[in-house]
Amino acid sequence: MRIVQVITRPQRRGAEIFAVQLAEQLTKLGHEVIVISLFQGSGELLYTGKFIQLNCRNESKLAFEAPKQLAKVLRDFSPEIVQANASHTLRVCVMARFFGKVTYALIYRNANKMSDFIKNSPKKLLYKYFLSQIDGIVSVSNATKSDLLGFFKISKKPCVVITIGIDEKKLRKLSQTLDSFSKITSYLLQLGSLVPEKNPLNMISIFEKSENQSIKLMLVGDGALKNALIEKVNQLNLVQRIHILPNLSNPYTILKHAKALVMPSSIEGLPAVILEAMALRVPVIAYGVGGIPEVLNKQTGYCVQPGNDKAFIQAIHTCLLSDNTPKLDAAQKLVLEHYTIEKIAKQFEGFYMELRSQKTRK
């Protein structure tokens, strides 16, 4: 099949990283795959195949630059499958259909709970229209699927749950790279964008209240809250214990050496970093939001009731003092049996073939 993976911009964010990994695996399965990014971005995404960066500047909902440019590329490539991977890609991919006459199955990959981001009726109606124009939906978890179908009252659209997958071999290789993080003997790690829904400010508050004074906190990522985080660390006089680092091209060495991955998010789909931590045998402590409880439970880690900071602090305390071997064994087994990129790519391939057949019959 000729397949296009559309991403918002080159950036080290879950939706974009997974789209590139999926494209690589689909290529290995014998398909012709290109990746197209819509807007300018400085993030480093490694893809060995054809990567077209449109570098559009205007992200306004009424701007036609990105849809027109995308439509031209699609006309030239004549794909059978186009997948819009979260964020702006849904809008742009739907609008691109008005500027081109290429017939293909358009799929939207839903990576989060959309109801958490759409807060007014006009926007809801607009996105309901966009969703009506696509041919199929892939949700990253049962929670995100239920949210989308219920929120937009969608009943007749093909919608399946296909989770994220990790490249276990690549992950293991990258995590073995020599670096300075292994010299830091004891730290908790929050890895992800520094944005409100990830709750990094609250993570600092939780960390301040934890009893273990010997452990450090590493916050790795970029985003709108970075300056506020630096200011809060200075105000609390925690400069020696909390370190804020920018996005890393290889975050897996710092992940491998962490005492635990902490994720106090208020909104999530199903974060790849949780599965990566499980594969590397790193304990995970997270609020049970979105699809997280579908993989994280008492057997595989520490799934905390959302918003319960006291329980989160207790989970950190318990994790640091416990023998986590049974949890780590169960978590790693779960990931290797069900969440490798090879198995997930096969599921995407099957859904693509099903939609292509339906499109051909029409």
Backbone φ/ψ region at 120: left (φ over 0), alpha (ψ -120 to 50), beta: beta
Confidence of residue 13 (pLDDT cuts 50, 70, 90): confident
Confidence of residue 359 (pLDDT cuts 50, 70, 90): confident
Question: Does pLDDT of 156 surpass 90?
Answer: no
Average pLDDT over residues 285-311: 98
**What is the pLDDT, as a whole number, of residue 362?**
60
Question: Does pLDDT of 2 surpass 90?
Answer: yes
Residue 122 phi, psi (nearest 5): -60, -45
If you count them, how many residues does the chain have?
A: 362
Question: Does pLDDT of 361 surpass 80?
Answer: no
**What is the pLDDT, as a whole number, of residue 60?**
73
This prediction's pTM: 0.91
Which residues, in sequence order, are CB contacts of 136 under 8 Å at separation 6+? 105, 106, 107, 108, 157, 158, 159, 160, 351, 355
Question: Does pLDDT of 45 surpass 90?
Answer: no
Calculate what percentage of the chain has a pLDDT beyond 90.
83
Residue 7 burial class via C-beta count within 10 angstroms: exposed 0-12, middle 13-18, buried 19 and up: buried
**What is the pLDDT, as a whole number, of residue 357?**
87
Average pLDDT over residues 252-267: 96
Between 101 and 33, residue with greater pLDDT: 33
Q: Give alpha helix (H) positions in the chain.
A: 14-28, 65-77, 89-96, 121-132, 142-152, 168-175, 200-209, 226-235, 252-256, 272-279, 309-321, 325-338, 341-361
247: closest CA among 297, 192, 295?
A: 192
Q: Which domains does the chain have, with CATH numbers?
A: 2-165+340-361 (3.40.50.2000), 168-338 (3.40.50.2000)
What is the token pair recorded at 249? 């091209």
**What is the pLDDT, as a whole number, of residue 182?**
57
**What is the pLDDT, as a whole number, of residue 180?**
61
**What is the pLDDT, as a whole number, of residue 212?**
85
Q: Tens digits of per-residue pLDDT, 55-93? A: 998 777 667 999 999 999 999 999 999 999 998 999 999
Residues linked to residue 110 through DSSP beta bridges, in sequence order? 139
Question: Does pLDDT of 50 surpass 90?
Answer: yes
**What is the pLDDT, as a whole number, of residue 62?**
63
Q: Give long-range contacts, CB 8 A cutoff, 24+ apart: 142-149.
A: 142/291, 142/294, 143/113, 143/269, 143/290, 143/291, 143/293, 143/294, 144/110, 144/111, 144/112, 144/113, 144/114, 144/269, 144/270, 144/290, 144/291, 145/110, 147/113, 147/114, 147/115, 148/110, 148/113, 148/114
Average pLDDT over residues 335-345: 97
Sheet holding 2-7, edge to edge: 50-56, 32-39, 2-7, 81-85, 105-110, 136-139, 159-161
Cα(354)–Cα(217) distance, integer angstroms? 46
Between 113 and 327, residue with greater pLDDT: 327
Highest-pLDDT range among 106-120, 237-251, 333-347: 333-347
Q: Tens digits of per-residue pLDDT, 191-246? A: 999 999 999 999 999 999 988 889 999 999 999 999 999 999 999 999 999 999 99
**What is the pLDDT, as a whole number, of residue 44?**
78
Cα(4)–Cα(106) distance, integer angstroms? 10
